[in-house]
Amino acid sequence: METHKALFQQGQHRLDKLKQLAPRAGDSLLEKMSAKGINRRDFMKWSAVVTSMLALPNPFTSLVAQAAEIADRVPLIWLHLAECTGCTESLLRADTPSIDTLIFDHVSLEYHETLMVASGFQAEENLQNALEKYKGKYLLAVEGGVPTADNGSFLTLGPHGETGLSRVQKAAKDAVAIIAVGTCASFGGIQAAAPNPTGTKGVQEVVKQPVINLGGCPPNERNIVGTLMYYIMFGKLPPLDMFNRPKWAYGSRVHDDCERRGHFDSGEFVEEFGSQEAKDGHCLYKMGCKGPYTYNNCPTERFNGHTSWPVLAGHGCIGCSEPDFWDAMSDFEKPLSRRLLTGLDSTADTIGAVILGAAVVGIGAHAIATFFVKPVDY
């Protein structure tokens, strides 16, 4: 309790200082919400949900609300490197704007290639001005892996042909915090899949500063906004796991919160797509679901306005938030145990006890992590 009290006071003190800064020109967050038909009650409900998601006590709801309202006081520079822009698209392409998307619109976004009107030399000038004007004060978000082979020449940006490697290292130098958005920025993604001719790496491997990794292809929009809220509130990184992912978002396995978990424990599996078992929502482990080996909050946060996620839609998790997932988790429609572990599949064929099922999958998950996860030197 005392720790939470001190953290609350720390957060309130930081927010009070941020409130003294001049707001970005334009409508306030509440005015933007009102224009979209979102009232104050909806906003406070959202704040309570984010508070719970961040694993903070209920009194912190007021801090979350304050942080969202003054998000425009913290400059954000967003770089695109080797990627498909899917992480940005997942945050923006909502048929009905949510509070999360409105906050992203409200934040002081100084540079974002997908959203800005400027191009060419004008865009380059905007980036350089932002780096200088907000030196030591801006948040840096990076979307996409960083090609490093041939001194980064596999990715060049802007009218001067600057390499992505040079750009991210220059921008990282004076950032107060760095957020790697998506698996490509976090761990290299598909660009880093074997044989990786471009030498693509995650951001954390090419900069000296600490990086918050938001794994996922793409990560949930709530994970992006929640991370922004945490930093705005406290001015520091949230508690992170061994891969520098926020524990509040990546602290439990997909398997643990999956709505099909009961079918796994009961030994009820889909053996073929389109079968009656598939229609009845049975467990997709035998169809290659990597939920037992993947840490993410997809089952609880979902996508598309919190309506669904891959397993609910009928396909197994492919483990996209894990390091080297493209190589480590394939084949995506066959269980990993058929290639590496003996026993897990035979157990799945005969399992009937809840305790046995949980224990076996837990052991399998730790074994897979041991085989697949490459140590990261921080």
**In this structure, what CATH number is given to the domain that contains residue 366?**
4.10.480.10
Instruction: Give residue-wise pLDDT tens across range 141-191.
Output: 999 999 999 999 999 998 889 999 999 999 999 999 999 999 999 999 999
Nearest CA to 297 among 218, 202, 213, 223? 223
**79 and 180, same domain (yes or no):** yes
Tell me the C-alpha distance between 258 and 19, whole Å. Answer: 41
* 128-139 mean pLDDT: 95
**241 and 361, same domain (yes or no):** no
**101 and 238, same domain (yes or no):** yes
Total structural domains within the chain:
2
* 110-120 mean pLDDT: 88
Q: How does residue 12 score in pLDDT terms, banded at 50, 70 and 90?
A: very high
For the chain, the maximum distance between any two Cα atoms, rounded to a whole number of angstroms, is 65
Instruction: Give residue-wise pLDDT tens across range 297-307.
Output: 999 999 887 88
**Residue 169 domain flag:** yes
Domain span including residue 230? 72-250
**310 and 186, same domain (yes or no):** no
- Domain end (from 250, 266, 289): 250
**Residue 52 domain flag:** no
Q: What is the pLDDT of residue 94?
A: 60
Q: How does residue 1 score in pLDDT terms, banded at 50, 70 and 90?
A: low
**210 and 266, same domain (yes or no):** no
Asked if residue 360 has pLDDT above 70, the reply is no
**324 and 207, same domain (yes or no):** no
Distances 273 to 235, 282, 376 between C-alpha atoms, Å: 47, 11, 37
**236 and 353, same domain (yes or no):** no
Is pLDDT larger for residue 14 or for residue 368? 14
* 235-247 mean pLDDT: 94
**Residue 20 domain flag:** no
State the SS3 of 309-367. CHHHHCCCCCCCCCCCHHHHCCCCCCCHHHCCCCCHHHHHHHCCCHHHHHHHHHHHHHH
Helices (DSSP H) in the chain: which residue ranges?
2-19, 29-35, 40-53, 61-69, 86-92, 99-106, 120-133, 149-152, 164-173, 183-187, 221-234, 247-250, 254-257, 261-265, 276-279, 298-301, 310-313, 325-328, 344-350, 354-372
**83 and 139, same domain (yes or no):** yes
Asked if residue 128 has pLDDT above 80, the reply is yes
Asked if residue 358 has pLDDT above 50, the reply is no
Nearest CA to 185 among 143, 242, 139, 221? 143
